[in-house]
Structure 1
């Protein structure tokens, strides 16, 4: 007892309506493409002219000063980072050298090797 919806009209009319719907969709897509191309072809505003017309010269000069300060601070930060890297590498190398000297001293003590007074003085001064 299903009530099936029977299509009204001959199949050729339904087919033509569907074809015309597709043609209409293609035409709408095509005209939208023309509108978008026309909008893209319009030149944008000239920002330098707008800036000269609406912004006072003191604000422009202040902006340029701030940009210069930012560049200087960025350069200073990079220089400080480079110095930190150099100090970090130097301290790491110093720590490795001290560890090597301590290991040499331990090996000398384990093997009962006596260091000369000059070697002991050099060792003591290198640890300071």
Structure 2
């Protein structure tokens, strides 16, 4: 089957593919946050399939953090066994499943906690 071999800084991070794919994508994104020099860099690998009952299933593969200087290589390959997605979930009119694993949800909540803690318990001197 077709798959993406993805390398970051010369190290393969995943071979993303699935037998029932309809769409496969790799995106590299830079987002400026509230401070002009604060940039969030992201590498994302996603897929979408259609089953016989016309229900969309999305898939997502885990990728490492990237930064200025990161080298990202993407190669389209034929393979027998790609890496399984980190999460496969339905997202259609009838069913909206969470796209994150329980561990990822916990990590996101923890990061929000740290941000709020810094905001409310940090130095408030004028």
TM bucket (normalised to shorter chain) is under 0.3
Normalising by structure 1, we get a TM-score of 0.23
Structure (1 or 2) with the greater strand fraction: 2
Name which one, 1 or 2, has greater alpha-carbon Rg.
1
**Higher relative contact order, structure no. (Cα contacts within 8 Å, ≥ 6 residues apart):** 2
Structure (1 or 2) with the greater helix fraction: 1
Normalising by structure 2, we get a TM-score of 0.23
